[in-house]
Amino acid sequence: MYKSSEGSSGGMDLDDLVYALRNFPGVTRKKSISSVINFLPKQAYTKILASYGEDAAVVELGDRLLLLAADGIMPALLQANPTFAGYYAVLVNIHDIAAMGGVPIAMLDILSVKEQKVCSKVMQGMESAVKKFGVPIVGGHTHPDCDYDAIDIAIIGTAEIGQAIFSHTARIGDDVVVGMDLDGFYPDSLPYAWDTTTRKVAPILRRQMLIMNKIAKQGLVHSGKDISNPGTLGTLGMLLETSGKGATVDVNSIPCPAGVEMVQWLKSYQGCGYVVTCEPENSQRIIDMYSTVGVTAAVIGNVTNDNQLVVKQGERSKVMFDFDRDIITGCKPSSTVGWESVELGK
């Protein structure tokens, strides 16, 4: 099932690969976040440990951390497959909490309805995901008379003090490790949604959901993020941008399923996938922990201080993002709230 990515780019050279990934809508659409961040007022609160640029906001409450996130589903997915839209509305929120090393607790939904048939399919998808992952929807709001269909979900989770995994805390010299479940498929009409969950039973999915929590409890990583719509390198780019760091990555070291071209794979939303950075001596332990839940992981590069994401393939290299000039989300260290109060891995 697993192959080296060497020779798997479908005839696309490195320049073309980098161009395709830089201009992938999953990446370019994130730029609008920068205008929202610049609009919202910023004020430091001692109990808010992280906000902009993270998969979930982190709030200290007594002896626990609360993790809060929200996600909406793109109209294109809702139109193409309402059942998957409902399912993924749950899944992406669970990923946001899991990526932070947290345990998902409960969700709220906002459902906007134009066509009852579409609404029913969305609800079926949500119901399926809730049953598989065991995270309940406990309330929300319904707009029954809209001129459009939409589904948005918010989630709350929890983590131990000092054990949240952040995006902004990559360190120079860290290994970059990616872990993905290679046992999946692309559903019809969804060429960039690598589905690893709908055909699996609940016990393995729930173990996968909690693997980052176990990694966090052992203090093995400095930073991390779930591989979402920007794809593998786009997600790494967001992490580096938020950390104010760069990285050099070897494309040939990225795990990839047999029969899938690299450009499609690197654009794909992962049904279970993470990118983390860690001290090199911890990399094998992390890879081994991922393997216990059916996730294939590998070291693909290292974190640098040159503020660029450089992609290598064989003897060639190419700058994919130069964060002195390029914006993915605009979530740079200067846009954070309360981060200076966080001490990781203690």
For position 48, what pLDDT does the model report?
A: 79
Percent of the chain with pLDDT over 90: 72
298 located within any domain: yes
Report the amino acid identity of residue 309. L
pLDDT digits (tens, 9 = 90+) for 91-100: 999 999 999 9
> 146 and 195 share a domain?
no
11 located within any domain: yes
> 28 and 112 share a domain?
no
- Closest to 278 in 3D by CA, of 188, 180, 230, 212: 212
Strands 137-143 and 103-112: parallel
> 233 and 126 share a domain?
no
For position 40, what pLDDT does the model report?
A: 56
CATH of residue 233? 3.90.650.10
> 202 and 86 share a domain?
no
Report the amino acid identity of residue 26. G
| Confidence tier at 75 by pLDDT (50, 70, 90) | confident
pLDDT at 7 over 90: no
For position 46, what pLDDT does the model report?
A: 67
Q: Which of 103, 132, 160 is the last residue of a domain?
A: 160
Is the model's pTM score more than 0.85? yes
pLDDT at 345 over 50: no
pLDDT at 337 over 60: no
Q: Is 87 left (phi over 0), alpha (psi -120 to 50) or beta?
A: alpha
For residues 154 and 69, the answer to whether their CB atoms sit within 8 Å is yes
CATH of residue 152? 3.30.1330.10
pLDDT at 336 over 90: no
Q: Give strand ranges (E) for 144-241.
A: 150-160, 175-180, 193-194, 223-226
> 147 and 180 share a domain?
no
> 278 and 187 share a domain?
yes
132 located within any domain: yes
Q: Report how far residue 49's alpha carbon sits from residue 341's, in angstroms, rounded to the nearest whole number.
A: 7
Give me the domain span that covers residue 136.
55-160
pLDDT digits (tens, 9 = 90+) for 256-310: 999 999 999 999 999 999 999 999 999 999 999 999 999 999 999 999 999 999 9
Identify the bridge partners of residue 224 per DSSP, sorted by sequence position: 276
Burial 104-143 (b: 16+ CB within 10 A, else e): beebbbbbbbeeeebbebbbebbebbbebbebebeeeeee
Domain count, the chain: 2
pLDDT at 343 over 50: no
206 located within any domain: yes
Tokens of 100: 């932070």
270 located within any domain: yes
> 132 and 229 share a domain?
no
Q: Decide: residue 301, CB within 10 A, 0-12 exposed, 13-18 middle, 19+ buried.
A: buried
pLDDT at 156 over 90: yes
Tokens of 245: 């760091």
pLDDT digits (tens, 9 = 90+) for 181-204: 999 999 998 999 999 999 999 999
> 156 and 172 share a domain?
no
> 138 and 67 share a domain?
yes
Tokens of 67: 């993790």
Helices 231-243, 14-22: axis angle to 10 degrees equals 70
Q: Which of 137, 160, 183 is the last residue of a domain?
A: 160
Instruction: Report which DSSP code applies to 339.
Output: G
> 172 and 229 share a domain?
yes
Q: Which of 117, 134, 160 is the last residue of a domain?
A: 160
Q: Diameter of the chain by CA atoms?
A: 58
